[in-house]
Structure 1
Amino acid sequence: MKKRTLLQWILGIIGVGVIYAIIVFGLILSTYREVPPAGIDTMIVLGAKAWGSEPSPILKERLDAAIPYLEANPQTVVIVTGGQGPDETEPEGVVMGRYLESQGIDPNRIIVESTSTTTVENIQNASSLHDISTAIVVSNDFHIYRAKRTATQNGVSTVYGLAAPSKTKATFVSYLREVVALGYHLIFTH
């Protein structure tokens, strides 16, 4: 009798976990194909690891997703965000700004935020550098739902997402990590 009860508990916990994962994965997928309208004043590109003076593949995906919009909307100011981690040689924001310039984006349109270490700090620090009420947030497809929600929770009244398609070998792990991170975000941030 006790073995059966234990098995029922284990199956119940697994069942709840599967339902949770399906719901959270659905939320992640709900915004990754969003297309922001033309003419938005501000774009925030969220940082990710830099490899020396170059963007990592994930960071490059984000920057490459931002460039077509910036080219089509020359009035849009772009804020690149990200500080310097202990294993980075310079801040992510600096690497990002330099990359955008190398791709033809006018440096006068680029604002570099180089101290943040989390998504919340990315948004808060970007807001302290530039007046933001409406913005496009750029991140990878697995992160865009949480990034938009974080921006809204931190004072950006209208947020559009621009999701960079994830094509690196870390994509599967990134989605799994985001299922946990988004669950934590939904429960513990308000």
Structure 2
Amino acid sequence: MARRNADGTYRYVLVLGAKVNGIQPSRALLHRIEAAAEYAKQYPHVELIASGGQGPDEGMAEARVIARELTARGIDAARIHIEAESTSTYENFLFSRSIWSGESGLTVVTNDFHVRRARLVGRLYFGLSTDALYARTPTATKLKYVVREQLAYVKLFINYMRWKWRP
């Protein structure tokens, strides 16, 4: 899948959640939030979907942290939709579908290592065209995330084959 940088084409921007430390965004999530906020300021017609649930070791749902941080950066809360139940990239799309329903595509915001798989999930499962904001990955955690991402591709393939060939 070729790299496709976001250019304001799509109405909705799906900001994928990541680890929350207590009620503060991890560095990876902070980079996603910053990229989304800059983009939203550049393209005032877009609406943002903050997506991500609350893990057992998190003090607040990822989506609620994203929304709070976006508003703190000057984004009008009326432009932000919250999906706070998802626990995976697939669920980010699935549980946000009622918000972007009817659209042929959307912009995905995630860290650079994760963009390709996130866009693939959107295309395979939901038939979406996508472009992306490639948020920087913190150097200290990049190796861990890249290795984990390779394993996630295996899981994606297995789950997709089950989904595609289900009775």
* TM-score, structure 1 normalization: 0.78
CA contact (8 A) 1:41 1:77 kept: yes
- Which is further off, 123-132 or 72-81? 123-132
Please identify the structure whose Cα radius of gyration is greater. Answer: 1
Aligned equivalent of 2:30, options 53, 60, 68: 60
Aligned AA (1:160): D
> Which piece of structure 1 moves more, 112-121 or 163-172?
163-172
Alignment root-mean-square deviation, CA:
1.6
Q: Give the gaps of 5 or more residues in structure 1.
A: 1-26
CA distance in 1, matches of 2:68, 2:49: 12
Are positions 1:69 and 2:39 aligned together? yes
- The residue that corresponds to 2:154 in the other structure is 183
Query: What letter corresponds to residue 154 of structure 2 in structure 1?
Result: G
Give me the identity figure in percent. Answer: 34
CA contact under 8 A between 2:114 and 2:149: conserved in structure 1?
A: yes
Matched position secondary structure for 1:136:
strand
Q: Deviations over 1:127-174 (max 9, x none)?
A: 123324210011111110100011112325211121111124111111
1:161 corresponds to which of 121, 132, 135? 132
Write the deviation string for residues 22-76 of structure 1: whole angstroms up to 9, x where unpaired. Answer: xxxxx7xx53xx3222242000010111112211111111111112211111010
SS where residue 121 of structure 1 aligns? helix
Give 2:13's aligned amino acid: M
Moved over 4 A (4+): none
1:187 CA displacement:
4.5
Indicate the residue corresponding to 1:99 in structure 2: 69
Match of 2:114 among 119, 143, 153: 143
Question: Are 2:92 and 1:122 aligned?
Answer: yes
Q: How many residues align?
A: 160
TM-score for both structures, normalised by structure 2 = 0.89
CA apart distance, 1:189: 1.4
Q: Which residue of 1 aligns with 2:79?
A: 109
Q: Indicate if the aligned counterparts of 2:22 and 2:57 stay in contact, CA closer than 8 A.
A: no
Indicate if the aligned counterparts of 2:64 and 2:84 stay in contact, CA closer than 8 A: yes
d(CA) in 1 for partners of 2:84 and 2:66?
A: 10
Q: Could you list the runs of 5+ residues in structure 2 that have no partner in the other structure?
A: 162-167
